[in-house]
Amino acid sequence: MRSRFPAIALALVVVLVGEGWAAAYCRSSVCKVDGKTIHGKVCAPPADDDCGTVLQWRQPCVGFALAKAGSRQVSLAEIEKVAKVSFAAWTTIDCGGGQHPSIEVDDLGIVSCGKVEYNQHGGNANIIVFRDDEWPHMDDGGGTTDTIALTTVTYDVTKGDIFDADMEINSVQNTFTTSDTMVDVDLRSVMTHEAGHFLGLAHSTVMDATMFPNYTNGTLDLRAPKDDDQQAICNAYPPDRTPRGTCDGLPRHGFSPECQATQTEGSCAFVPASSGLSLVALLPFAALLGLARRRRRC
């Protein structure tokens, strides 16, 4: 028997660079195993392979930006609208008593840079970029021909502080839709899931969760975080958390719409009053978390 709709499965690839809820969520972590630094997870309830320090944005606000190239499938205006709604699905969750997670996500607008990178010495942007012409992760362990999205998170391997997150959408091999009818690959579902990775969440074992590693093509199921997802984000960013820094949404070392190679010192980066800890002697580690189409099975 064949499934009526192909399923979409989430894959995780790693490279260097409320009370009463049924909890089975996981948060991304950084681990030391046999002297090596690896990407891992910490789950509730604990799993046998849990390890390390969980990842978290330490500031109260982070920002995202859209690569100006956009996509031939979806207008920039529509992409921006979907991105805002997808992040808001997480940040407006009720953690109890009407309180929300202690993290906000701001729209920093359009940037010229469409490259996934982290600049240790200049401005940055947490970009959302569509790959209309080529999927660049075929040979680096970051996906297959069926991968539909990847989020790259760069963080401090000692403390788990997230420094940067970039979301890539594979629009060369997938057809994205934004309406509630005639759905192919629902962009809002994909971006809501990837927004969870952006915020430091890993995959859930609850089958109907937004962070569960399967999506059925043609559905809208991942748009709204479920109970398990809600507990995950409230655990990661409890309302009583004391964030570090000011709520300006600016990236570490300041915001720049330009890629690192084309930045000119003093003209491209808008630096916040407090830039946080220096990256000196810290090794950034990037985790690629992706969404992939699974082949039909008999």
Instruction: Look at residue 289 in the predicted model and tell me its pLDDT.
Output: 63
CA distance 52 to 282: 17
Ranges assigned E (strand) in 134-283: 147-156, 162-169, 176-177, 185-186, 214-216
| Three-state DSSP class for residue 292 | strand
- Of residues 259, 72, 69, 38, the one with CA closest to residue 155: 38
- Tens place of pLDDT for every residue, the chain, 298 residues? 222 233 333 333 333 333 344 458 999 999 988 888 888 999 999 999 999 999 999 999 999 999 999 999 999 999 999 999 999 999 999 999 999 999 999 999 999 999 999 988 889 999 999 999 998 876 655 455 567 888 999 999 889 999 999 999 999 989 999 999 999 999 999 999 999 999 999 999 898 999 987 778 899 999 999 999 999 999 999 999 999 988 999 998 899 999 988 886 543 333 333 222 222 233 455 666 655 544 322 2
Instruction: Look at residue 279 in the predicted model and tell me its pLDDT.
Output: 29
| Type and span of the H or E element at 128 | strand 127-130
Instruction: Look at residue 14 in the predicted model and tell me its pLDDT.
Output: 33
Residue 220 burial by CB count (10 A; 0-12/13-18/19+): exposed, middle or buried? middle
Residue 46 burial by CB count (10 A; 0-12/13-18/19+): exposed, middle or buried? exposed
Report angle CA 150, 214, 74 to the nearest 5 degrees: 50
Report angle CA 190, 164, 172 to the nearest 5 degrees: 40
pLDDT tens track for 134-189: 988 766 554 555 678 889 999 998 899 999 999 999 999 899 999 999 999 999 99
| Three-state DSSP class for residue 168 | strand
Q: Which domains does the chain have, with CATH numbers?
A: 7-273 (3.40.390.10)
- The answer to whether the beta carbons of residues 30 and 157 sit under 8 Å apart is yes
Instruction: Look at residue 291 in the predicted model and tell me its pLDDT.
Output: 53
Instruction: Look at residue 34 in the predicted model and tell me its pLDDT.
Output: 87
β-strands 214-216, 25-33: how paired? unpaired
Instruction: Look at residue 4 in the predicted model and tell me its pLDDT.
Output: 28
CA distances from 185 to 44, 85, 223 (A): 30, 17, 12
